[in-house]
């Protein structure tokens, strides 16, 4: 599986699955959408306050997600409202 051509897709799927657990209930409930564009994780938020909170903690969240999936699949986290 390590050298599988589909491994990046699997890792991205794992990140999407782990999103609610890693960010916590508050941010998870305010999240309207999470998707990948290459190595960029794009998150759309319902609420400006939660958008600011996520933006302020984006590097910590990226690090946690990458550690959980054992890969550097998330290179950038973009937050939109």
Beta bridge mates, 35: 42
Kindly state the DSSP code that residue 74 receives in the 8-state scheme: -
The answer to whether residue 20 is domain-embedded is yes
Predicted pLDDT at 62: 97
In a domain, 43, yes or no: yes
61 in a structural domain: yes
Per the structure, the complete domain to which residue 60 belongs is given by: 7-80
The verdict on residue 2 lying in a domain is no
How many domains does one find in the chain?
A: 1
40-45 vs 31-37, strand pairing mode: antiparallel
Place of tokens 């909170």: 53
Q: Is residue 1 part of a domain?
A: no
So what's the pLDDT on residue 5? 63
Mean pLDDT by 10 residues, the chain (81 residues): 72 96 94 96 94 95 96 95 89
């Amino acid at each position: 599986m390590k050298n599988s051509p589909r491994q990046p897709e699997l890792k991205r799927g794992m990140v999407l699955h782990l999103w609610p657990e890693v960010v916590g209930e508050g941010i998870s409930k305010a999240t309207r959408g999470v998707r990948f564009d290459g190595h960029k994780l794009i998150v759309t938020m319902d609420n400006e306050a939660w958008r600011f909170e996520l933006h302020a903690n984006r590097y910590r969240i990226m690090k946690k997600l990458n550690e959980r999936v054992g890969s550097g699949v998330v290179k950038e986290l973009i937050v939109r409202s």
